[in-house]
Amino acid sequence: MFLYLVAFCIIHYATAIVLRKKFSIVFDNKTLLATSLFLIMIISIFFFGNLESNPRNVTLLDDKIYWLLLITFGSHAILQFLFWFLYSLLRHYQLTRLPRFTFNIFALIIFTFTVVLSAKYFFAFDLAGFLVTSTVISAIVGLSVQDTLSNLFAGVSLQSEAPFTIGEWVDLGGQEGKVVDQN
């Protein structure tokens, strides 16, 4: 198991190097950090802890926590790598105009789902109370930041639709100007 996890990290780094040299795709620092943290977690758990190699046979609390940490950091590294890879290739071949933010939202949703299910598996949590509580909290937060969220989604839609490009002249309310940057 240890060798498979380390091999994933090495393949991850090698893919980044090949894509940078062949396609001039810049490696995302957040993805590099996620994989580095996962590698540090692997080394620290397997060398300093006594971890059961099969997660189905885990009975000790320490081993459950170790496996939950491995799954958490591993799923984060894998999701960051996959979404970076997909986003970079789509942007390189100009197949999408979506900002990286949308890919990060999907990664966050999948990551949260993975961590919650892993915690349920290892610690036998009852998810009904958790889901009801999170639904109520989401409704309260959603209603309280409604204006901010509408501005956020307006900005995301502007980025994804790109109604104007850099270097283009625009006329807004009687003011004319040249687009020099988008953020």
Of 125, 141, 157, the one marking the end of a domain is 125
User: What integer pLDDT is reported at residue 117 of this predicted model?
Assistant: 85
Whether 146 and 107 share a structural domain: no
Whether 15 and 100 share a structural domain: yes
* Gap between the Cα atoms of 90 and 70, Å rounded: 30
User: What integer pLDDT is reported at residue 33 of this predicted model?
Assistant: 84
CA 4 to chain centre: 21
User: What integer pLDDT is reported at residue 183 of this predicted model?
Assistant: 62
Residue length of the chain = 183
Whether 109 and 135 share a structural domain: no
Q: Which residues of the chain have pLDDT under 70?
A: 1, 52-54, 97, 182-183
User: What integer pLDDT is reported at residue 133 of this predicted model?
Assistant: 86
Whether 67 and 135 share a structural domain: no
Whether 26 and 110 share a structural domain: yes
- Could you tell me if 107 and 79 are in contact, meaning their C-beta atoms sit under 8 angstroms apart? yes
- Could you tell me if 179 and 166 are in contact, meaning their C-beta atoms sit under 8 angstroms apart? yes
Whether 58 and 110 share a structural domain: yes
When divided into structural domains, the chain yields a total of 2
User: What integer pLDDT is reported at residue 44 of this predicted model?
Assistant: 81
Whether 6 and 88 share a structural domain: yes
User: What integer pLDDT is reported at residue 182 of this predicted model?
Assistant: 67
The pair of structure tokens assigned to 179 is: 């687009």
Helix, strand or coil, per DSSP, at residue 172: strand
Burial 160-179 (b: 16+ CB within 10 A, else e): eeeeeeeeeeeeeeeeeeee
Whether 92 and 41 share a structural domain: yes
In tens, the pLDDT along 84-127 reads 888 878 877 877 767 777 778 888 888 888 888 888 888 887 88
Range of the domain at 62: 1-125
The pair of structure tokens assigned to 183 is: 């953020």
Whether 71 and 118 share a structural domain: yes
